[in-house]
Structure 1
Amino acid sequence: MPDDLATLETQRSKLLEEFLDLGDLRPGSITAVTRRCGKPSCHCAKHNDPGHDPQFRLTRRISGKTVTESFPNPTALRKAQQEVAEFHRFQKLSQDLVTLNDKICRLRPVEPQRGGWTEQEKKRLLRSIRRWRGK
């Protein structure tokens, strides 16, 4: 069953209310990077050793440049994970809002104008038609 305009507008209002529930957010992705310390006698210098414990980093782009941030403790990592998850939620809500608004715009009837074309608009239209035919 196709949605009617009133139902879609109600859905849009509910969706806009969800934006108010968003918490702190930030873009980026969190990755785990294993590293080697560089000491020749360390276990990480061996051929098949995976390296030291993974270090978690937040990577994002700011003004066209990639910026990486390391976390000093697990609490900071958990905080960043929540913020990135909230950003993903924001992106999903934005996408849903655009989709819903597109449906609303397609269903909303066109309101007739009172006078039709103004004299100025008619002249411009005729000029463009003449130019187009001349090519």
Structure 2
Amino acid sequence: MSDTLPNLLNLRGDLLRQVSQLGDFQPGSVTRVHRRCGKPNCHCAKPTDAGHGPQVQLTHKMSGKTVTQTLSSLAAVRKVEKEIAAFRRFQALTHDLVEVNQKICRLRPVEGQEQSAQEKKRRKRSSRKSSAK
């Protein structure tokens, strides 16, 4: 597709439609962890044992802090993984949208480029330094 203004405007509209059709999304990552409880007689205290788990966790940043949420069921894990995939799609679409908007801004003509009569009459400041104190 050539980078003409009408083509870019159509592409921007398509990208905005795709963003509006995304549905629920959220940032983060899903991890599976094994934990050790710390009790000396527990099976997890043995070096060969993997520990308790696996526990599935959702981790994301909120206001500069890392937030971790334990996902209790397989259905919750599937739901969160779909939402994270939709968020990654959202990130890709907004990246493309910014690129298209930058191209549109470069191609769009500048309006009101001609100076008005008042602007032409505006005095320019003198480049000489004043001797008054």
Report the TM-score, using the length of structure 1 for normalisation: 0.79
Tell me how far apart the structure 1 counterparts of residues 68 and 118 of structure 2 sit (CA, whole Å): 57
- The one-letter amino acid of 1:16's match is L
| Alignment coverage as a number of residue pairs | 129
**Partner secondary structure for residue 34 of structure 1:** strand
Q: Which aligned pairs between 1:54-65 and structure 2 lie closer than 5 A? A: 54-65=54-65
After superposition, the Cα gap between the structure-2 partners of 1:47 and 1:6, relative to the gap in structure 1 and judged at 3 Å, is same
Report the CA distance between 1:116 and its aligned residue.
4.2
CA radius of gyration, larger in: 2
Identity %: 52
Q: Of Structure 1 and Structure 2, which has the larger fraction of its residues in helix?
A: 1
Give the aligned partner of residue 85 of structure 1. 85
Q: Deviations over 1:68-101 (max 9, x none)?
A: 1101111111111111111111111111100110
Asked if residue 94 in structure 1 is aligned to residue 94 in structure 2, the reply is yes
Structure 2: runs of 5 or more not aligned? none
Instruction: Determine the C-alpha separation between the residues in 2 that align with 1:117 and 1:26.
Output: 54
Distance of 1:5 and 1:65 partners within structure 2: 42
Please, what TM-score do these two structures have when normalized by structure 2?
0.80
Corresponding residue for residue 45 of structure 1: 45
Q: Which has the higher strand share?
A: 2
Give 1:2 shift: 4.4
The alignment partner of 1:12 has SS state of helix
- The 1:41–1:8 alpha-carbon spacing in structure 2 relative to 1, beyond 3 Å, is same
SS of residue in 2 equivalent to 1:24 = coil
How many Å apart are 1:118 and its aligned residue?
A: 4.6
Aligned in 2, Cα 1:50/1:117: closer, same or farther, shift over 3 Å?
A: farther
2:115 corresponds to: 115
Alpha carbon RMSD of aligned pairs, Å?
2.8
